[in-house]
């Protein structure tokens, strides 16, 4: 029994050695190839509609009515939502009533009454003036006494005062009526503006991509209630790592891969680089525009991008996994060779010196 177990263990050991030896003998090897290589910066991002913006209400309240649905095309100043507020409506009615009461044309009768008073005061002043002149002539002829002349002069002075007072009252009333008229009209404008704040309208022509609130829901000025953007034109927003941002420049070509278009690539160019880094993600926002746009796009589609930094034709290329630390390669005979490298991408690396396309390389041991 013991002998059988020993033979069995020996067989297992021999099988292990054979498998190990056969696996060890299959060393992967390649020859360098001459082809083009592109050095690029990787970035992830998403699609955004041109002029895309979030719609915010100007006041807090409850949505009374929603006038659009997702997918609707709208023009500038299209009514989107109304927010319920009975108080603002009543305030507007009160302001309109006050404006009607204070309207200058509605108060012309008051001015006309004062004009009549002015006319009467003017006529009385003229009569009293004539009477005073007559009394003075009679006094000069010793027909009347000085007290009679003084009484006539006092009457004339009173009529002058009454006339001037009527003029002042007319002027003051006219100013007051003009002021009331303007103030009441301003109050109407203010109440209309406040009431208009309870209606939400679109700022630009575009497409309603999302309705974020429904009828009866509470809204406030800090929470968006819809998303609107251009219906046909789209842009790309990318996040580029801080270590790569110095390589990125406006006008550089970008190869785009979208999850919605598996196996296809599209082209774009860098259009804008935000000059400030996001402290949390340690990335910079880079905007790009399609030069070859997919037939159908929607906002927030995710994508991956390679921003082309440099490109070289007829370069001597090997897979990067055959180049240890991007510095050394191993020949088939086991020699370790230091090489000079050039352009790199995520899979391949250019060899500018150290080996030729005739050399056979093996995969470095891990």
Q: Domain containing 218 — which CATH number?
A: 2.40.50.100
Residue 62, domain extent: 52-84+199-230
Contact between 291 and 271 (Cβ < 8 Å): no
Let me know whether 189 and 297 are in one domain.
no
Q: What is the predicted pLDDT for the residue at 278?
A: 93
Assigned domain for 243 exists:
yes
Cα separation of 109 and 103, whole Å?
12
Assigned domain for 297 exists:
yes
Contact between 213 and 136 (Cβ < 8 Å): no
Let me know whether 125 and 239 are in one domain.
no
The tens digit of pLDDT for each residue in 284-320 reads 999 999 998 898 999 999 999 999 998 889 999 999 8
pTM equals 0.57
Assigned domain for 130 exists:
yes
Let me know whether 73 and 180 are in one domain.
no
Assigned domain for 137 exists:
yes
Q: What is the predicted pLDDT for the residue at 208?
A: 95
Question: In the chain, how many domains are there?
Answer: 3
- CA pseudo-torsion sign 170, 173, 175, 181: negative
Q: Which of 197, 212, 245 is the last residue of a domain?
A: 197
Six-digit token pair at 113?
A: 């009454």
Let me know whether 213 and 267 are in one domain.
no
Let me know whether 226 and 166 are in one domain.
no
Give me the average pLDDT of each 10-residue run along the chain (366 residues). 40 41 63 89 93 91 92 93 74 67 72 87 91 87 86 90 90 83 75 76 92 92 93 93 94 93 93 94 95 89 92 90 90 90 86 90 84
Let me know whether 325 and 271 are in one domain.
yes
Assigned domain for 74 exists:
yes
Cα separation of 327 and 46, whole Å?
36
Instruction: Using CA atoms of 160, 162, 165, 169 in order, give the dihedral in degrees to the nearest 10.
Output: -140
Q: What is the predicted pLDDT for the residue at 15?
A: 42
Let me know whether 147 and 212 are in one domain.
no
Query: Token pair 């630390």 is at which residue?
Result: 325
Assigned domain for 21 exists:
no
């Amino acid at each position: 029994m013991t002998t059988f177990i020993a033979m069995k263990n020996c067989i297992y050991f021999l099988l292990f050695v054979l498998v190990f030896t056969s696996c060890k003998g299959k060393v992967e090897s390649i020859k360098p190839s001459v082809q083009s290589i592109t050095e690029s910066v990787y970035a992830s991002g998403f699609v955004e509609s041109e002029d895309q913006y979030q719609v915010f209400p100007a006041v807090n309240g409850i949505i009374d009515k929603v006038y659009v649905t997702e997918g609707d095309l709208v023009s500038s100043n299209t009514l989107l939502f109304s927010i319920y507020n009975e108080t603002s409506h009543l305030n507007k009615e009160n302001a309109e009533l006050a404006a009607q009461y204070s309207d200058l044309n509605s108060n012309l009768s008051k001015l006309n009454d004062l004009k009549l008073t002015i006319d009467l005061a003017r006529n009385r002043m003229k009569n009293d003036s004539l009477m005073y002149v007559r009394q003075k002539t009679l006094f000069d002829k010793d027909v009347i006494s000085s007290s009679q002349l003084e009484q006539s002069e006092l009457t004339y002075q009173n009529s002058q005062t009454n006339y001037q007072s009527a003029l002042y009252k007319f002027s003051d009333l006219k100013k007051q009526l003009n002021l009331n008229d303007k103030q009441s009209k301003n109050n109407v404008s203010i109440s209309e503006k406040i009431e208009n704040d309870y209606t939400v309208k679109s700022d630009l022509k575009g497409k309603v991509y999302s309705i974020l609130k429904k009828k009866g829901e509470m809204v406030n000025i800090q929470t968006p209630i819809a998303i609107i953007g251009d219906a046909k034109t789209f842009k790309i927003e990318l996040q580029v790592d801080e270590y790569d941002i110095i390589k990125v420049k406006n006008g550089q070509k970008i190869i785009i891969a979208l999850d919605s278009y598996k196996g296809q690539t599209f082209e774009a160019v860098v259009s804008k680089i935000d000059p400030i880094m996001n402290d949390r993600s340690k990335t910079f926002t880079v905007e790009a525009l399609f030069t070859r746009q997919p037939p159908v796009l929607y906002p927030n589609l995710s994508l991956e991008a390679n921003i082309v930094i440099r490109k070289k034709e007829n370069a001597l290329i090997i897979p990067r996994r055959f180049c240890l630390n991007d510095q050394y390669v191993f020949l088939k005979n086991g020699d370790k060779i230091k090489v000079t490298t050039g352009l790199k991408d995520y899979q391949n690396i250019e060899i500018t010196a150290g080996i030729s396309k005739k050399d056979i390389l093996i995969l470095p041991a891990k």
